[in-house]
Structure 1
Amino acid sequence: MRSRLGQAGTLLRRLEDLLLSLLLTTMILLATGQILLRNLWDYSLAWGDPSLRLMVLWLTLLGAMVATREHNHIRIDLLSRYLPERAGRRVRRLTDGFTVLVCALLAWHAARFVLFEYEVGSRFLDLLPLWPFQLIMPLGFAVIALRLLISSLSGYRRGDG
């Protein structure tokens, strides 16, 4: 059972890293293409800018998921830096627990937002339903909350030994 979880975790890591790489490469190429088209031929792709906006959303949340996975996310830990090691760990667990609640709340409301977009029938480029492209919001915040919950319960932190 444990090895299957390890394999699933490895697969998820690879998928996240692959998506981030592909997304960033695509964004760079598309943005560069848009700039060249506008400056050289006074033309742009109508789908380019809306696609870039969605890609920024995906890149941001995938990046946050990876940062949380690597225990390299932004945190305000001024207090824990000046406390003894044991108390600092407790404070980090407490702040992680609070962050879990915030991310879970964000995941819940993001899911409600995506459901609303589904019900309203919002379209991307007047061609495709918008809601599948927005699923990264509840999914991303849920993954972040889950990772922080596991980290908080296990007490693991890089540098805690």
Structure 2
Amino acid sequence: MKRLEQTFVVLNGWALILMLSGMAIVVGANISLRYLTSHSLPWADEVARYLMIWLTFTGAGLILRIGGHVAITNLQDSLPKTGQKLLRAAIVLILLVFFAFMVQVGWQYAQRMQYQVTPALRLPFLYVYAAMPVGFALLIVHLLLIARPFILAGDYKHLGDSGTDHGALPGGANG
């Protein structure tokens, strides 16, 4: 299971690296062409925008793993240990329900957009809006993989951690 989790995290990370690299190449090429030839690629802005959308949704799960999303812990910190665990369990359940709802809503929205095409690429908007259900599905998987250590100890994983060593975030901040 640990190897499967590690492979999942690595593949998710590489997908983000490839999307960010593609975005940088397209934007860099467009800027270069604009200044060197006074012409630009008519589809470059569109590609960069859609890659940014996909980066945002597919990267949210990796950030969730390390506790990188905004969190206010005043209530949790004021509770006894048992209360903290119950609160964290409730948070995980609420997030799972919300993420599942957003997968459903995102998929419905993407299907509604399948017949409209993007202006420059002529790509069905289904592929753009599919980022939402895919991203929230990834959030569900990442949340399930970190739920136990989070509920029991409030710990997140280190950036390179996929084993059993669940520690706090670097710098002492853990949510």
Residues 1:16 and 1:152: Cα distance change in structure 2 (over 3 Å) = closer
Quick check: 1:136 aligned with 2:131? Answer: yes
Offset, 1:52? 0.7
Aligned to 1:122: 116
Q: Is contact 2:61–2:143 with CA below 8 Å preserved after alignment?
A: no
Letter in 2 for 1:122: Q
Q: TM-score, with normalisation over the residues of structure 2?
A: 0.73
Aligned equivalents of 1:49, 1:6: Cα separation in 2: 39
Q: Which runs of 5+ in 1 are unaligned?
A: none
Q: TM-score, with normalisation over the residues of structure 1?
A: 0.79
Aligned equivalents of 1:62, 1:150: Cα separation in 2: 16
The aligned length equals: 155
Letter in 1 for 2:117: R
Offset, 1:45? 0.7
Instruction: Tell me how large the CA RMSD over aligned residues is.
Output: 2.6
Aligned equivalents of 2:124, 2:19: Cα separation in 1: 20
Residues 1:110 and 1:67: Cα distance change in structure 2 (over 3 Å) = same
Aligned to 1:18: 14
Bigger shift: residues 134-143 or 76-85: 76-85
Q: Is contact 1:97–1:152 with CA below 8 Å preserved after alignment?
A: no
Structure 1 residues 71-121: Cα deviation after superposition (integer angstroms, max 9, x where no partner): 433333331123233322222222222222222221111010111122xx1
Aligned to 1:89: 85
Q: Is contact 1:67–1:73 with CA below 8 Å preserved after alignment?
A: yes
Aligned to 2:170: none
Offset, 1:17? 0.9
Q: Which runs of 5+ in 2 are unaligned?
A: 157-165, 168-175
Aligned equivalents of 1:78, 1:71: Cα separation in 2: 16
